[in-house]
Structure 1
């Protein structure tokens, strides 16, 4: 199919076939059709597969410990109480997945399966939908009155920029009403004598007030979300937090913010692993990943051909494909406006790669594009070393001893 698409310059068909080839890269050598592919096409498949493996390895490392590095003191300044609550929330997630899968995390050295990524995506997408403030935006000018404490928007923006993730349309969570907390404090001051005596009744009223404030600050009316097991467990966790918040020395508002940062960041990682090019038609049956990075500047795309197909939809619509994969299983659906803007794959800054011309000049252009991609996306010494080796291997694959790349 890939060879056919190259020969007749069918862009959408090529994109579809290329994504599947990248996902099946290790098995392509067994295909009788593979030898007929050009050296350049083979090298591009190998490179895209390597890029995808690096991205998946990065995501796997982050998910194993629920973003311990991303939310470490090096990137996120928290009080001792807030840091303790973050660790407690991680413990909750760990326990939930031990109950769900029988163990967590998967053994080191193993790659998370696509089915596991999907399961995690459903859970964190449900938590996102349950807590998200649908009126929030990344525009500072339109922000609501600051509540003090942890600055969620600043930390979320920093996280997205650090990992080159397109921001989700609604970066903020609903927060417990501060007036409820102030009224609670006023009532506590009026009954200072009862507090001094350790009145159980007054403490119970405080707990109920905190639990009510937390519940009100949710999208609880959507039963497709609240019926999910992860949400049921999360609601129990928040109710328990309302009781122990004084021991943790963190307000219920800041505790919600801390949990939101972990939920938002994890969802972004999962989105980057499950996204697929918009041209891919069969997204459910394959068990392999297709979140490949490619560019869209093939020379033949600018040429007129009698058998050319219509322009492929923008990659901004790629979440429609992810939504179609998950919609029937997650039990909920997103509005069309949310689907189009919610997830713009982190490969959107790199157009999709189409190359059938083995002209040295075209190859040089392609190589430069890939080098720019390498240096813009990966920063660690180990990753850069691995990527450089791959680049040299690509040169050796494309060029004969008498050629210069």
Structure 2
């Protein structure tokens, strides 16, 4: 526990993704119940109690150690006669003799954390890892040895939201180290992905010494791989210049190449206005990268809106024809059975896409073809008037403007895409981009090539690792490679990587189908999207089981207490990170006492019944892969 040796302060983790200095061991307001009947002292020399709790908390813990402390006379009354009427127990919990001041302080902090665990209150400690390790040891000492202490601690972390390590490198390092100690897949994934994103900060922390050498090596490798991806994307997006598209323009007319250059200039100027410079000038020393998750998210939204505006929804890759000839020429087909042919420039465009995807090792965007306006031949050179200058062909400009407007999906767009700033600026730019000189069909095709290349490039960064519980407004990327991880199980593919097929252009066809059904469904008919929501929530108010959950459901074991009470599941068949979000209000760890339960001995003990080795909270009948809410349920 090398990180502890250098720690100089006690911190509190409240479960909201933040930490704060803490110094309330003398009397902790989180553990002071005005209705309590038990006082906890940290030694006989301490004149004032540190905690005031309800005695049923000790009884319901089923802790032989705590109950025996009551029975063998270690509880002594120190209060006046007036106080004796409300205070039934006074418990002195001294640190073992012979320890250093740091050891004594750690013992008392862990005692405090044990009761915080029972009441689901915030965690404190020198480091996050130290607090978890010490609390786990105390659970093993206090609680029944037949119970699953590790699963109980996992449930506590999930319930309180302590797996939320967004922008908290110290907590991320601690959760990563502890999750590896106990082989907790979900916690390790959450911490690892955030740690890769914050690697530059974590590598400078003393807490990084708590992370194993193997995991540190994986962190560095994933960080370098992610950094290389970001640099590749930065190189092309700084000028929106793609070699694949540029080399294919060598045989084009100067006017068409100029139209492509003007579009790239338009994009740079648009983002210069948004960010004051393009590429963006970062003020962080030691970090040469200017792209971050927020900027990529903005670019993804903007270019997805352009894609929605101008994609031909009826043209797809012709996967039905698997001949070598088709593979060479990349034939497309129309899904509405209309005649669809490709000209020479279309083949050139598809060749650009094929070369780009081969270089990126990427799959095709399902709908690659744009809506193209009819070709409008250029007007013959106009004679200059001595007094009025060059004559403008207004009729041609009107045909060009109409062609651009007709070749769009504006009537099908969602409000989000229709109101997108880049989409609106692009429509204005396109209409006014040398309408008297440029063929609108050729110009739109060249602009579409750039849009397609940008979307394929962004897809390597815009998708987060699936099944993360917390993402927040972090600026670092959350798509580290998880191949061959975790280190204790490198041969099985336990974690799913972020894949470009989850980017907007790949999932758009399913969205279109739902929107089309909803738009034209008869009045009173339930929409596809609402039907899917109600179908999955009719009984359980949750989304369908995740694939991991489905595969493990057969191993589920239940134990029902004699009073017809709680049902517990085998810890190998349940993911706490998924279970807690399904029924957040019903969640109650069998190890955690209710803070509002009265001290009256008449209260049923079945509410806090300890089943034999229960693993996760009771009352969870089904769980989904939907991420946890940003804040834990109240």
TM-score bucket of the superposed structures, by smaller chain:
0.5 to 0.7
In structure 2, the partner of 1:159 is 356
Match of 1:207 among 397, 416, 420: 397
- As a proportion of its length, which structure holds more strand? 2
* Contact kept in structure 1, 2:484 and 2:490, CA below 8 Å: no
Match of 1:267 among 443, 450, 455: 455
Matched, 1:111 2:290: yes
In structure 1, the partner of 2:311 is 132
Matched, 1:289 2:468: no
In structure 1, the partner of 2:431 is 239
Cα displacement (A) at 1:274: 2.4
In structure 2, the partner of 1:51 is 225
TM-score normalised over the length of structure 2: 0.43
In structure 2, the partner of 1:89 is 263
2:508 and 2:242 map into 1 onto residues whose CA distance is: 30
* Contact kept in structure 1, 2:374 and 2:440, CA below 8 Å: no
1:39 and 1:313 map into 2 onto residues whose CA distance is: 23
Can you list the C-alpha shifts for 1:113-147, whole angstroms capped at 9, x where unaligned? 33222222221111111111122222225253114
Match of 2:442 among 254, 263, 267: 254
Can you list the C-alpha shifts for 1:241-280, whole angstroms capped at 9, x where unaligned? 3623x2xxx5211111110111111122222122221132
Cα displacement (A) at 1:86: 0.8
Matched, 1:142 2:333: yes
1:1-400 pair list within 5 angstroms: 1-31=175-205, 33-73=207-247, 78-107=252-281, 109-139=288-318, 140=331, 142=333, 144-150=340-346, 151-177=348-374, 181=376, 203-221=393-411, 222=413, 223-241=415-433, 243-244=435-436, 246=437, 250-296=438-484, 301=489, 319=502, 336=510
* Contact kept in structure 2, 1:277 and 1:318, CA below 8 Å: no
**How many pairs are equivalent?**
309
In structure 2, the partner of 1:394 is none
In structure 2, the partner of 1:377 is none
Q: Classify 1:303/1:106 alpha carbon distance in 2 versus 1 (closer, same or farther; 3 Å).
A: closer
Structure 2 residue ranges without an equivalent (≥5) = 1-174, 283-287, 319-330, 335-339, 514-634
Cα displacement (A) at 1:91: 1.4
In structure 1, the partner of 2:149 is none
Q: Classify 1:19/1:338 alpha carbon distance in 2 versus 1 (closer, same or farther; 3 Å).
A: farther
In structure 1, the partner of 2:580 is none
TM-score normalised over the length of structure 1: 0.66
Cα displacement (A) at 1:202: 9.4
RMSD over equivalenced CA pairs, Å = 3.7
SS at match of 2:460: helix
SS at match of 1:71: helix
Tell me which structure has the larger Cα radius of gyration. 2
1:226 and 1:26 map into 2 onto residues whose CA distance is: 39
1:127 and 1:175 map into 2 onto residues whose CA distance is: 14
2:209 and 2:428 map into 1 onto residues whose CA distance is: 57
Higher relative contact order (CA 8 A, sep 6+): 1
* Contact kept in structure 2, 1:279 and 1:312, CA below 8 Å: no
SS at match of 1:241: coil
Cα displacement (A) at 1:65: 0.8
- As a proportion of its length, which structure holds more helix? 1
